[in-house]
Amino acid sequence: MGIDHRTRSLDEEGRRKAIHPVEVKGKWQSRRQPVQFILIFFFLAIPWISVGGRPLLRLNIFERKFSVFGVLFQSHDVPLLFLFVIGFALVFALATSLFGRVWCGWACPQTVFIEAVFRRIERWIEGSAFERKRNADLPLSERLPRLVLKWVAYLGVSLVITHSFLALFVGPEALRAMVLAGPIESPQAFTFILISTSVILFDFGWFREQFCIVMCPYGRIQSIFQDTNTFTVAYDARRGEPRGALRKLTKESPRGDCVDCTRCVQVCPTGIDIRNGSSQLECIACTGCVDACDDVMKRIGKPVGLIRYAPSNGSSRFHVGMRSYAYALALALVGVAVVAVGEKRTIAMVEVFKAPGDPYSVSEEAAGLVYGNVFVAEISGQRVGRNTVEFSLRGEPGDQLVMPNNPISAPEGVILRQPFTVRFAAGSLREGRREITLRTTVRAESSGPGNPGSEVKEKRLVLIGPF
Ligand code: SF4
Ligand code: SF4
């Protein structure tokens, strides 16, 4: 009878069966574990890291301000953010075309936290996979103390993860204030923590591989990025088959190198048998079965590599396929577009509007009748450091700019509204109107590549008075 890989996670009637993957050590795991710990460290540390006085990563959705690698992006930077999203998707596509599901097995938060933290806690409290399987049939009263301890530990870890995640949006200072103020004072943050902690507990604590198998969209589409040069975890059937126990070796019935120990199945976190094929949807390329089989091969004196993480065309050499070149080219084009759009980012954005209220004012002065038009300048600083904006008029003699603060400071990320009045001689209008030029000179304290020292922009304003 053929092996039905569903039996590891589902029974014949489609009900979930718990998977208890056996712990595995080996070449790939000794590479994978440091990667996981570095990723966890960064995830927890990122909200606290600043670059040049600005957060390394902050996603302030409420104020539509995003800080990425210390650079502030606001709502008007949508084209740039859109390019970043495309670039991010292309990095995924390129990595997948080269190394298969390396994201799933090595970097996805789902895998990283489950393997490096939640399974570790499970092993510490409930014992090895064999003990857990054996104890699963014990009465609940006997298992309860360890179960409670395990879920309390899960809850603690989940709370750390969700608070760190929330800090990415609100910042660590605001997070600390919210925690100290309590849930009554910060009901939205409390609700977010409540929901996200519940989701993490459910997913990382119980749902686990089912998310990868039945819910993850990337898992469903990843195969479209791959070609025959892509690295995949594969069983060498030509070498391994016909499989059979060592003791069954006879001259009459020769067999392959697979001793059918099922060690590769026992270590698999998604419960599959890689010997059924290399392109199984459930395989997350964790390389656990590679290490498990290599260990078996060493013990029986056979060459390692019966299960390999290697190009799917069977080649032992790394070869970059056309698909990967295409993704790399597209990524380079997006990089060029990012630089081009980034170059156009200003030091400070200045918009000028006519102020609401009376269209003009009239005053009698020694020189004659003088009209006044009130405007509002909206200034939005874009650069780190001290930015200043200076206004001047280019019009007719007698035109006068009345502004309380000029030049005005424009700190990064702050939107200021500065009212000002343009005063002009009554006789300077033609048919009740005239155009003048408002010149804005924007200076940045720190200049450098993509950050010019000053910019001069001109805006046309329409002055109005009695017709
Ligand atoms: S671990 Fe290797 S030898 Fe054992 S069943 Fe799997 S493929 Fe065969
Ligand atoms: S088949 Fe191997 S590489 Fe794929 S998920 Fe299972 S153990 Fe990991």
pLDDT digit of tens for each residue in the chain (467 aa)?
A: 444 545 467 777 878 888 999 999 999 999 999 999 999 999 999 999 988 777 889 998 887 888 888 777 877 788 888 999 999 999 999 999 999 999 999 999 999 999 999 999 999 999 999 999 999 889 999 999 999 999 999 999 999 999 999 999 999 999 999 999 989 998 999 999 999 999 999 999 999 999 998 899 988 888 899 988 999 999 999 999 989 887 665 666 678 899 999 999 999 999 899 999 887 889 999 999 999 999 999 999 999 999 999 998 877 788 898 999 999 999 999 999 998 888 777 778 888 999 998 889 998 888 788 999 999 999 887 766 678 899 999 988 889 999 988 999 887 777 889 999 999 998 888 888 999 999 999 887 654 444 557 888 899 999 998 87
Residue with CA closest to ligand 2 atom 7: 268
User: 292 in ligand 1 pocket by Cβ < 6 Å?
Assistant: yes
Determine the atom of ligand 2 nearest the C-alpha atom of 292: 7
State in Å: Cα 259 to ligand 1 middle. Answer: 6
CA of residue 146 to ligand 2 center, whole Å: 29
CB 284 near ligand 2, within 6 Å: yes
Atom of ligand 2 nearest to the CA of 273: 1
Say whether the peptide bond before residue 242 is cis (omega within 30 degrees of 0).
yes
Residue 362: CB atoms within 10 Å: 12
Supply the residue whose CA is at minimum distance from atom 8 of ligand 1. 258
Determine if ligand 1 sits within 6 Å of the CB of residue 306.
yes
The predicted structure's pLDDT at residue 450: 46
Ligand 2 atom nearest the C-alpha of 271 is: 6
CA distance 346 to 383: 8
Identify the nearest ligand to the CA of 286 by its number. 2
For residue 122, give the 3-state DSSP assignment: helix
Predicted model pTM? 0.79
How many helices (H) does the chain have, and how many strands (E)? 15, 16
Q: Which of 371, 362, 369 is nearest to 462 (CA)?
A: 371
Say how far apart CA 253 and CA 250 lie, in whole Å: 5
Distance CA 104, CA 92 (A): 11
User: Which residue is it, tokens 């989701």?
Assistant: 199
Could you tell me the residue ranges of all domains in the chain?
A: 1-345, 348-464
Amino acid at 266: Q
Q: In angstroms, what CA-CA distances link 243 with 247, 262, 310, 460, 466?
A: 12, 11, 22, 83, 99
- Residue of 8, 262, 263 best suited for mutating to test ligand 1, as the one with most atoms within 8 Å of CB: 263
What's the CA gap between 445 and 86, in Å, rounded? 32
379 contacts 410 by C-beta, under 8 angstroms? yes
Which residue of 22, 259, 307 sits with most ligand 1 atoms within 8 Å of its CB, as the best mutation to test the pocket?
259
Q: What is the pLDDT of residue 446?
A: 58
Q: Tokens 């976190």 identify what position?
A: 269
CB 19 near ligand 2, within 6 Å: no
295 lines ligand 1 (CB under 6 A): no
pLDDT at residue number 297: 96
Q: How many Å is the Cα radius of gyration of the chain?
A: 32
Enumerate residues 6+ apart whose C-beta is below 8 A from 344. Answer: none
Model pLDDT, residue 250: 61
Cβ-based burial of 84 (10 A; exposed 0-12, middle 13-18, buried ≥19): middle
Neighbouring C-beta atoms of residue 35, cutoff 10 Å: 13
Residue nearest atom 8 in ligand 2 by C-alpha distance: 286
Cα–Cα distance for residue pair 388/442, rounded to 1 Å: 6
Round to the nearest angstrom and report the end-to-end CA distance of the chain. 97
- Range 348-464 has CATH code 2.60.40.10: yes
Contact partners, residue 324, CB within 8 Å, separation at least 6:
94, 97, 98, 227, 229
Strand ranges in 118-239 using DSSP code E only, listed in sequence order: 231-235
